[in-house]
A and B are shown apart, each in its own frame.
Chain A
Amino acid sequence: ETGVTQSPTHLIKTRGQQVTLRCSSQSGHNTVSWYQQALGQGPQFIFQYYREEENGRGNFPPRFSGLQFPNYSSELNVNALELDDSALYLCASSLATGGEKLFFGSGTQLSVL
């Protein structure tokens, strides 16, 4: 049973650029959630995807967008990067959309200069 994998592990971008982060969910999981974790903070919910549709969104602007593919893998896209977007981006998969334990990947560390 493979776990949640994220790529790349580290990324450096400049302000105003766009970035795409990728996530492969754990085998058998149809739900993917994305979280942003700033240094010294707890993870903050960005959005969730279930069966290729967005199924809930946190307090993040529209320049944060996502996709889920038929194999349940997912992408997080961030446009017009800002310095405050520097954070660890975590992907988590689960068997259902609410109340299920989340299985997290190791994250992508994004630095915006």
Chain B
Amino acid sequence: EDQVTQSPEALRLQEGESSSLNCSYTVSGLRGLFWYRQDPGKGPEFLFTLYSAGEEKEKERLKATLTKKESFLHITAPKPEDSATYLCAAWGQTGANNLFFGTGTRLTVIP
């Protein structure tokens, strides 16, 4: 059964304190791994897509990486505006058109 697990569930960081979020997946024939950011009361906002192990993508203070079993979202020197829930989602062979989301990591960055 396809499964996506994110850890930790919640993370509090001081402004400038770098950290990483984890997304472990067991998905038949992974075709893509997506990262989204979701603010309270809003829909998810696309951040990155990773297609193969070893791939990395960066955007401002965020960098996403992918291995054969997990993906990491690294946050460097975060700011309070980075506070949000970060969701990862897997696109696999099962249910070819849908993304299978994890439950997210709720990040709070304290000034």
Contacts and interface: CB of A to CB of B under 8 A. Distances in A.
Interface of A: 4, 33, 35, 40-45, 48, 55-56, 58, 90, 92, 97-99, 101-107
Interface range on chain B (Cβ under 8 Å from partner)? 20 to 34
B34 interface: yes
A90 B95 contact: no
A26 to B, nearest CB: 12
Contacts of B42: 106-107
B8 to A, nearest CB: 14
A42 B89 CA distance: 9
Contact of B32 (A56, A99, A103, A106): A99
A97 B98 CA distance: 9
B103 A41 contact: yes
Contact of A4 (B43, B91, B100): B43
Contacts of B45: 104
Contact of A55 (B34, B36, B97): B97
Given A90-B43, A92-B43, A105-B43, A48 B97 contact: yes
A90 B99 contact: no
A83 to B, nearest CB: 21
Interface string B86-99: 01010100011111
Contact of B97 (A33, A40, A42): A33
25 contacts: A40-B103, A42-B89, A42-B101, A42-B102, A42-B103, A43-B44, A43-B87, A43-B99, A44-B101, A45-B95, A48-B97, A55-B97, A56-B96, A58-B95, A58-B98, A97-B97, A99-B31, A99-B91, A101-B46, A102-B46, A102-B99, A103-B46, A105-B43, A106-B43, A107-B42
Given A99-B31, A101-B34, A56 B104 contact: no
